[in-house]
Structure 1
Amino acid sequence: MTLLPALHGSGVDRADALRVAGRTLSSEHLQGCANAVADRIRGARAVAVEATPSIEALVGMVGALQAGVPLVPVPPLAPVEERRRILRESGASLCLGATVDGTTLPVIPVDLRQRSWNTHPEAEPTADAVILYTGGAGGTSRGVRISRRAIATGLDLLADAWRWSAEDVLVQRAPLFRAYGLVAGLLGALRVGGRFVHLDRSPATGPVGTIHLAVPHQWARIARDVPGARALSGARILVSGDAPLAPAVNERIRLLTSHTLIQGYGTTETLIAVTGRAGVRGTPGTAGTPLPGVQTRLLGVDGRPVPSDGESVGELSIRGPTLFSGYLGQPDQTPPDEGWHDTGDLATVAPDGCHRIIGRRRADVVHCRDRPVPARQVEEVLLTHPGVHDAAVVGMPHRALGEMIVAYVVAAEGLTAQMLIDHVGRMLSAAHRPRRVHFVAELPRSAQGRVRKSLLIAPG
């Protein structure tokens, strides 16, 4: 099994195969540079790359995969102690491209002038390809071991679902230390032999591509940028992943682009397991259906399966060929013998198999009058307001309601709580309107960029 066949001479040499921050590499240049990196690191236990959006970082990542050495992408804004923990737990023995702050590991420079045409034997399919860390929204993040076989299988299934070919240009905005940015973005484009473009944070920056991939909070910002959003009408498909997308954001993108966003669902442990299909109009508000070979189940609080009626809520478990191999330092925390991984997310399944992801049981769902309200839907709508820079929604105890919706917002001066409450009320139902809005200077985030809602919910 070859993980990246386009880098083994089986694809067309493209002058702009890789584009990051306005710089490009051809397919041949990328292959030669990645091989030069692989020559120098082959046999290492694992290598770390600071996951900044740069040509050198991406060449280092590809070089690690060419060498068959587990790749450890390090979040560039992680605190020093978190970086040290990631490197210690992962067993990384080298840093590629640049040193990781706070560490003393040897550094192997990535020099784009160095090229090699040596061939490296493909690692075993079960070998670790990457070690990705979970979001850490609820506490300490965990290192997830993902095999070469899981990545290759998942990407082939995605290519079929999205009709993804070597003629496509994938443009993406997701962080390169997350599964969507690294696996579905960079490695997906390289596996099918297409072109890859990584954009900066500005919605109006860069080309459109034929496949445009972003995460929900980025789509919310794109929806506010009318000229930038309308430019995306030239894409073949628009894809949202990593978290549930608010229907109001999806509808605004549809009005501006004439595209209905394809949504995908997965976790670090499962990769993308559920998705919509290119050319198939999905049910609004759903993440689509499982990929071939992937099975899902919903269990109620009593541990029994809930019916697939589109209304009954259960906790989602997944099994299939894209599952992770295990957690670092936790050999007993692999999927059990029967292969089911409990995601911790609540969902519903319709009779046609379409999954609607509500969110994590505690952090992302507010139980108001015994009705589960997805916090992320409210967050995405708040982010469509031009004065809102960041937002997080949690549930707080309420004597009559059970829980009430409380929003924490980073906003421009002059914005009032009532203005935001009314804004949500215009786009969602009355049940989604926040009872309280707190304005804050910034939201607490994990090293992986996820909002730590546990710190907002905690008293004091």
Structure 2
Amino acid sequence: MSSLFPALTDSPADSPAERPALRFGERSLTYAELAAAAGALAGRVREAGRVAVWATPTLETAVGVVAALLAGVPAVPLNPKSGDGELGHIVRDSAPALVLTAPGTELPPALSGLERVDIDVRERAPYAPAESPGSAPAGITAESPALVVYTSGTTGPPKGAVIPRRAIATTLDALADAWQWTGDDVLVHGLPLFHVHGLILGILGPLRRGGSVRHLGRFTAEGVAHELNEGATMLFGVPTMYHRLAEALPDDPALAKALGRARLLVSGSAALPVHDHERIAAATGRRVVERYGMTETLMNTSVRADGEPRAGTVGVPLPGVELRLVEEDGTAITAYDGETVGEIQVRGPNLFTEYLNRPDATAAAFTGDGWFRTGDMAVRDADGYVRIVGRKATDLIKSGGYKIGAGEIENALLEHPAVREAAVTGEPDDDLGERVVAWIVPTDPQSPPAADDLADHVARRLAPHKRPRTVRFLDTLPRNDMGKIMKRALKHD
């Protein structure tokens, strides 16, 4: 296969050697500097077999991952916020030969048995790339593992999804087609670097295009505005980030002006509420584009830059990706009417290879004809747009003979002026099978909305059978590092 990073490995005449590649705060590397630092490190890890990367939001993490990919060595990004138990499981499961980290970093006891290699981002040793111009390292093919990214482990110990080089290349190229993404784009983001969104899309994506990325280190509205005012063209974020931007916009016309300068605003990792879509569009004149992916599949769908920016949807399948909705018995749904709920299954070159050391889980994840069972529930419009209504395990509510997606009820609740945050779950009901439960963070904690008012609000917007039968008020909703609501932490009485 061709090089993952042509700007680093092709001949100098064809590469943007002095163009900025990476910037984290005040620290930056040009393409020439990145090639030298990553190339020198690649030479040190080439025989390692597999390496762990202590994935702090720093230049060192980016250089470490790029070096591993240049060397043809699979990298295992480690979440610095993980506890010793989870880290110990990942290290035992993935068996890396060493851990790459920034100098001076104090690593936890779970990593004490690994050889430590400090990353020198200013190393200027002669660069002899493992990747020759236009090609992958010797013996490395499109199917060779590039990354082992561990899932969140909501139903047991985290599983290591083995992501081949083929999946990274095809996903990033499909997104380039969908988003008209070029080497002239400058991306700003403040996402963690231990998962697909922040690392593959946010760091490897710009490097594959020959563009630039500016990482904020920590997300702030001020940081976003500054970078967009300084020439950044794209912003990647998660719904929590865009919600904070939406909240800040009414009192910050400078932020609205900065966001209005962006060529593309992209949200992912969870559904962005329609209410936040509308507030951002009204204040900035820019629509947020949503895409849909997961660790095992990288990216599956997106609203296209040249398509209709339809709030509440994740767009259409990316080039090369096949997508279908199926009933519980596996029967494919053929009526795309925007109402019939089915599980999303996908097939294509964007998929992972296997769960590391888990042939049982790998086999269970695929159908007999090669479709990956995502566990996500959705409806599809006649023109192919996909609207996700929740996870099969936590967001599909069967009530009174209806299949109800929690996501659409949450969007409706968030349109109520007295609701700041909302989550919807199902709980057992003797009559209905399951009843709809709304978990609400009120706008004014001293004056929460009446339960009947919220139920009527949903019934008017959706349908009477989708109204919440029980409403519970909270000070805050439990969320993970990506801002996703952890519904399993919501305890029923």
Output the TM-score relative to the length of structure 1: 0.89
Q: Distance in 1 between matches of 2:278 and 2:452?
A: 20
Structure label with greater radius of gyration: 2
Q: 1:396 to 1:22 in 2, by over 3 A?
A: farther
Q: 1:125 to 1:397 in 2, by over 3 A?
A: same
**Equivalence for 1:318:** 346
**Equivalence for 1:360:** 391
Contact 1:223 1:384 in 2 (8 A): no
1:290 aligned to 317, 322, 329, which one? 317
Q: 1:346 to 1:31 in 2, by over 3 A?
A: same
Say whether residues 1:241 and 2:245 are aligned partners: no
**Equivalence for 2:134:** none
Letter in 2 for 1:270: T
Contact 1:319 1:341 in 2 (8 A): yes
Q: Distance in 2 between matches of 1:26 and 1:66?
A: 17
Letter in 1 for 2:488: S
**Equivalence for 1:152:** 169
Say whether residues 1:374 and 2:406 are aligned partners: yes
**Equivalence for 2:116:** 107
Letter in 1 for 2:392: R
Q: Distance in 1 between matches of 2:238 and 2:451?
A: 22
Contact 1:345 1:357 in 2 (8 A): yes
SS of the residue corresponding to residue 36 of structure 2 reads helix
Write the mapping of 1:109-128 to structure 2, written as runs, cut at 5 A: 109-116=118-125, 117-121=127-131, 122=137, 123-128=140-145
Q: 1:70 to 1:320 in 2, by over 3 A?
A: same
Say whether residues 1:137 and 2:150 are aligned partners: no
Q: Once the 2 structures are TM-superposed, how far is the Cα of residue 230 of structure 1 from its aligned partner?
A: 4.3
Q: Distance in 1 between matches of 2:220 and 2:273?
A: 21
2:35 aligned to 31, 34, 38, which one? 31
**Equivalence for 2:359:** 331
Deviations 1:234-279 (A, max 9, x none): 0111111122222222111211221222211111111111111112
2:233 aligned to 210, 217, 225, which one? 210
**Equivalence for 1:262:** 289
Q: Distance in 2 between matches of 1:384 and 1:41?
A: 55
Q: Once the 2 structures are TM-superposed, how far is the Cα of residue 285 of structure 1 from its aligned partner?
A: 1.9
Q: Distance in 2 between matches of 1:230 and 1:426?
A: 33
Q: Distance in 2 between matches of 1:423 and 1:210?
A: 39
Q: Distance in 2 between matches of 1:310 and 1:441?
A: 32
Q: Distance in 2 between matches of 1:115 and 1:266?
A: 37
The alignment of Structure 1 onto Structure 2 pairs a total of residues equal to 456
Say whether residues 1:81 and 2:85 are aligned partners: yes
**Equivalence for 1:455:** 489
The range that moved more, 190-199 or 224-233, is 224-233
2:371 aligned to 331, 335, 340, which one? 340
Q: Distance in 1 between matches of 2:331 and 2:123?
A: 58
Q: Distance in 1 between matches of 2:313 and 2:55?
A: 31
Unaligned runs of 5+ in 1: none
Q: Once the 2 structures are TM-superposed, how far is the Cα of residue 456 of structure 1 from its aligned partner?
A: 2.3
Q: 1:311 to 1:385 in 2, by over 3 A?
A: closer
Q: 1:305 to 1:234 in 2, by over 3 A?
A: same
Q: Once the 2 structures are TM-superposed, how far is the Cα of residue 352 of structure 1 from its aligned partner?
A: 1.1
**Equivalence for 1:403:** 435
1:224 aligned to 243, 247, 257, which one? 247
SS of the residue corresponding to residue 454 of structure 1 reads helix
Q: Distance in 2 between matches of 1:45 and 1:72?
A: 11
SS of the residue corresponding to residue 359 of structure 2 reads coil
Unaligned runs of 5+ in 2: 132-136
SS of the residue corresponding to residue 135 of structure 1 reads coil
Say whether residues 1:439 and 2:470 are aligned partners: no
Letter in 2 for 1:108: V
Q: Distance in 2 between matches of 1:19 and 1:380?
A: 39
Q: Distance in 2 between matches of 1:415 and 1:15?
A: 54
SS of the residue corresponding to residue 390 of structure 2 reads strand
The range that moved more, 188-197 or 392-401, is 392-401
Q: 1:441 to 1:290 in 2, by over 3 A?
A: closer
Q: 1:109 to 1:145 in 2, by over 3 A?
A: same
Q: Once the 2 structures are TM-superposed, how far is the Cα of residue 391 of structure 1 from its aligned partner?
A: 6.3
Contact 2:439 2:473 in 1 (8 A): yes
Q: Distance in 2 between matches of 1:250 and 1:378?
A: 14
Q: Once the 2 structures are TM-superposed, how far is the Cα of residue 168 of structure 1 from its aligned partner?
A: 0.3
Contact 2:422 2:438 in 1 (8 A): no
Deviations 1:156-215 (A, max 9, x none): 111011100000011123321121111111111000000012222223314122111111
Q: Distance in 2 between matches of 1:246 and 1:32?
A: 43
Greater RCO structure (CA 8 Å; 6+ sep): 1
Write the mapping of 1:388-427 to structure 2, written as runs, cut at 5 A: 392-398=423-429, 402-407=434-439, 409=441, 414-418=445-449
Q: CA RMSD, aligned part only? A: 3.0
Q: Distance in 1 between matches of 2:430 and 2:85?
A: 41
SS of the residue corresponding to residue 20 of structure 2 reads coil
1:278 aligned to 297, 305, 328, which one? 305
Q: Distance in 2 between matches of 1:18 and 1:189?
A: 9
Deviations 1:294-347 (A, max 9, x none): 111111123212222221111110000111000011124154562200000111
**Equivalence for 1:2:** 3
Q: Once the 2 structures are TM-superposed, how far is the Cα of residue 35 of structure 1 from its aligned partner?
A: 1.1
Q: Distance in 2 between matches of 1:263 and 1:253?
A: 13
Q: Distance in 2 between matches of 1:165 and 1:237?
A: 12
Q: Distance in 1 between matches of 2:378 and 2:431?
A: 25
- Of all paired residues, the percent bearing the same amino acid is 36
Contact 1:249 1:384 in 2 (8 A): no
Q: Once the 2 structures are TM-superposed, how far is the Cα of residue 225 of structure 1 from its aligned partner?
A: 1.4
Q: Once the 2 structures are TM-superposed, how far is the Cα of residue 375 of structure 1 from its aligned partner?
A: 3.8
Output the TM-score relative to the length of structure 2: 0.84
SS of the residue corresponding to residue 272 of structure 1 reads strand
Q: Distance in 2 between matches of 1:161 and 1:246?
A: 22
